[in-house]
Amino acid sequence: MTGSVAVEQRGNVLIATLSNPPTALMDGEIVVGLLALARRADADSDVGAVVLTGDHPTRFVAHFNVAEILSGAEQAPRLSKQMLRAGLRATGAALRVPGAAKLLMRGPFIGAIALETFTQTLLAIESCSAVWVAALNGDTGGGGCELALACDYRFMADGPYSIAQPEIFLGFPPGGGGTQRLTRLLGAGRALHMCLEGTPKTPADALAYGLVDRVVAPERLLEEAVEHASRLGRRPKTGIGAVKRAVRFGGSLPLEDGLRLEAGEFLAAISTPDSIEAQRAYVDRTNELGDVPIANPDIRAAVIERGRFV
């Protein structure tokens, strides 16, 4: 059976439920569904946030379907690492050509196409102008952990559940960004330990490690995730996207390059109609009060609750 992504809208939040019974494996169909979801969330002005969860009673995502990985590995030609990296760059370029993916999926590069699609999907989530919250309703491993790492917040259900990068036991590293995102989130030492050990972390361990942001009673998990997502999703989308891209993509660059990336996001955002309207309202209110509005506790509280100045 292939996986699916069921989406419902609750206010300004899209709730996406990942399904692939009976094992809760991630597969190519789920990846395609997530990419479509990221594009929808980015383009729809009525959507400020996305919450991901799973429909399995004890699993978010078990891991990526190893049968799909094996199929790609068996069909792929044996090439050097340098040639493989060059091939992945070419694959990324080819995927931007309409119809190319379907043709390539019939050939020996099916594994590279699938990996590049997963990579582009997670990058789309990271650059999306909506807040993403992973509500980890159970065990999360491999590609499921990588998906959670691409989200802006991770809430994990309390209980006999775990999160891990166990790929090492099959003789390969994480391939969907696990080594890179763990390093950026936790530091090189902890990332190395997680990927070399491959052992699962309990909710309490994951929270102490900095891998998840909150541990929640299972019956409250989705509700708290949606509440959090809805509150942050009320902030202007131009600001959300700019902050995410500056932090995600600029934070790992040399300082001067990161500053330029941030400046580019800043300059693009301040000239949007929504931002100009908010800036004008702020200046007008400053003149009216004779002081900066944000210094007023009542105004500040109202702005934080509303998520925007106007």
- Mean pLDDT is lowest, of 86-95, 212-221, 256-265, for 86-95
Work out the percent of the chain whose per-residue pLDDT is above 70: 88
Mean pLDDT, rounded, for 180-189:
98
224 labelled catalytic: no
- Say yes or no to pLDDT of 255 above 80: yes
Q: What angle do CA 103, 119, 12 make, to 5 degrees?
A: 110
Between the two ends of the chain, the Cα-to-Cα distance in Å is: 48
- Say yes or no to pLDDT of 166 above 70: yes
- Say yes or no to pLDDT of 218 above 70: yes
Going by pLDDT thresholds of 50, 70 and 90, the confidence category of residue 75 is confident
29 labelled catalytic: no
- Mean pLDDT is lowest, of 66-80, 170-184, 220-234, for 66-80
Instruction: Report the chain's mean pLDDT, rounded to a whole number.
Output: 92
pLDDT at 258: 97
**Domain edges within the chain:** 4-232, 237-306
Going by pLDDT thresholds of 50, 70 and 90, the confidence category of residue 48 is very high
Q: Which of 242, 26, 7, 229 is nearest to 121 (CA)?
A: 26
Give the list of residues 6+ apart from residue 216 with CB closer than 8 angstroms, or none: 155, 156, 157, 158, 224, 225
pLDDT at 249: 96
Mean pLDDT, rounded, for 68-96:
68
Q: Which of 116, 126, 146, 265 is catalytic?
A: 146
Q: What angle do CA 66, 68, 71 make, to 5 degrees?
A: 110
Going by pLDDT thresholds of 50, 70 and 90, the confidence category of residue 306 is very high
pLDDT at 96: 62
pLDDT at 73: 79
Q: Which of 167, 197, 227, 288 is catalytic?
A: 167
- Mean pLDDT is lowest, of 6-15, 56-65, 90-99, 299-308, for 90-99
| DSSP result, the chain | ---EEEEEEETTEEEEEEE-TTTT-B-HHHHHHHHHHHHHHHH-TT--EEEEEESSSSEEE--B-HHHHHHHHHHS----HHHHHHHHHHHHHHHTSTTHHHHHTTSTTHHHHHHHHHHHHHHHHHH-SSEEEEEE-SEEETHHHHHHHHSSEEEEE-SS--EE--GGGGT---SSSHHHHHHHHH-HHHHHHHHHH---B-HHHHHHHTS-SEEE-GGGHHHHHHHHHHHHTTS-HHHHHHHHHHHHHHTTS-HHHHHHHHHHHHHHHHTSHHHHHHHHHHHHHHHHHTS-GGGSHHHHHHHHHHTS--
- Say yes or no to pLDDT of 106 above 70: no
Mean pLDDT, rounded, for 71-85:
70
Mean pLDDT, rounded, for 175-188:
97
Using CA atoms, how far apart are residues 85 and 81, in angstroms rounded to an integer? 6
Using CA atoms, how far apart are residues 122 and 134, in angstroms rounded to an integer? 13
pLDDT at 79: 58
143-160: per-residue pLDDT in tens?
Answer: 999 999 999 999 999 999
Using CA atoms, how far apart are residues 189 and 124, in angstroms rounded to an integer? 27
Mean pLDDT, rounded, for 52-70:
96
pLDDT at 2: 85
- CATH number 3.40.190.10 is the correct assignment for the domain at 4-232: no
CB of 131 closer than 8 Å to CB of 48: yes
